[in-house]
Amino acid sequence: MTSSAVQAPVARLVLRAPYLIFLADIRETGFAKTGLGIAQWCPEKCVGQLRLPGCAVDARLPDLDIAAARAAGARSLILGAAPIGGDIKPNWVETLCRAAEAGLDIVSGLHRPLSRIPGLADAAARGGGRLVEVRVPPPDIPIASGRKRSGLRLLAVGTDCAVGKKYSALSIARELQRRGLPATFRATGQTGIMIAGEGMPIDAVVCDFTAGAAEILSPDNAADHWDVIEGQGSLFHPAYAGVSLGLLHGSQADAIVVCHEAEREQMAGYAGYPVPDLQDCIDLHLQMGRRTNPSIRCVGVSINTARLPADRRRAYLEQCARRTGMPCVDPLVEGPAAIVDRMLGVCA
């Protein structure tokens, strides 16, 4: 265990908006999820999209070249495309270098470091912009203190990976803001960070510091302010449960929403590991979360029902609600209002 708490001021991962979304020559929406998600969740941060010949996806933003994006105020080019393998295709390089030379920050969540793209570092040096790796945590993350912070926090947790934690957290934060309540979405994954413009890539933090990283992600705040925190992994996941627990402890969640995909029976990619029962998932999170916040409670279940036939959807949600005693919604269909009602009712 690392013994020295770092007292230095903490550097933060902060992006510069507005964005030019680079969709490259992607032909299938599945490989442009990052770019499309940003355009959907924060169109106000996006001045346009940049598409290469052959691109077949559309974020419904104005098509701009680099000069036009610059003129429109763009400060960052966001790599919104993620081909198989997480690498950057050779025919993208010239565009990226020209954007860097024009002074745009180049923002990437891909595995391959931007500094290894031929010519890009030099172009950025000439243009005066930054190469920003969304997967790289800021320096000087402290060891968690366990000290209770002011303000309120909701954490979106899950029965597995990729069950809608980011979507649920975003929609709850938006619903709070729509009601005129003070709320901030706190991102822990790369797409979330690009949407929020800042955040903590929690799964890339050295494990001694995971809870500490979660603590600085949601600092002290006004007593009635909600941080709505994007969860990662699952306490039941054979590979990632440690990340999930560090995030739960450091978040000191006052409330959790459990996210789940209807009809998923096995953990994705982990044959032999069943997806936990919803109530077991609620119970374990409350049990573990009490260690750093004794008043933690569950305020709802957020279910991705896309794989359910339309005629079974409502019965499925009602059955979940009966069994858990919680509001159970698909935020994409019903919206998160029922969860937000419960959360404000029990935590205010």
CA gap 208, 230 in Å, rounded: 20
Of 204, 332, 337, 347, the one binding its own copies by CB under 8 A: 204
Helix (H) or strand (E) holding 79: strand 76-79
CA gap 20, 191 in Å, rounded: 15
Q: Angle CA(244)–CA(200)–CA(198) in degrees, nearest 5?
A: 140
CA gap 38, 195 in Å, rounded: 5
**Min CB(302)–its own copies separation in Å:** 18
Which CB sits closer to its own copies, 83 or 335?
83
206 contributes a contact to its own copies by CB under 8 A: yes
Taking contact as CB under 8 A, which single stretch among the options 8-16, 32-40, 177-185, 209-217 is the one that binds its own copies? 209-217
CA gap 229, 214 in Å, rounded: 9
**Min CB(90)–its own copies separation in Å:** 20
CA gap 321, 311 in Å, rounded: 17
Which CB sits closer to its own copies, 119 or 269?
269
CA dihedral 226, 228, 229, 235 (to 10 degrees): 100
46 contributes a contact to its own copies by CB under 8 A: no
**Min CB(303)–its own copies separation in Å:** 20
Taking contact as CB under 8 A, which single stretch among the options 7-15, 26-34, 144-152, 257-265 is the one that binds its own copies? 144-152
Site for its own copies in 183-202 (CB under 8 A): 202
DSSP bridge pairs for 50: 22
Can you state the angle between helices 210-217 and 241-251, rounded to 10 degrees?
A: 40
**Min CB(344)–its own copies separation in Å:** 27
Which CB sits closer to its own copies, 90 or 272?
272
In the complex, which residues of this chain contact its own copies (CB under 8 A)?
1-2, 4, 85-86, 111, 143-146, 161, 202-208, 210-212, 232-233, 236, 238-247, 249, 270, 272-273, 288, 291-292
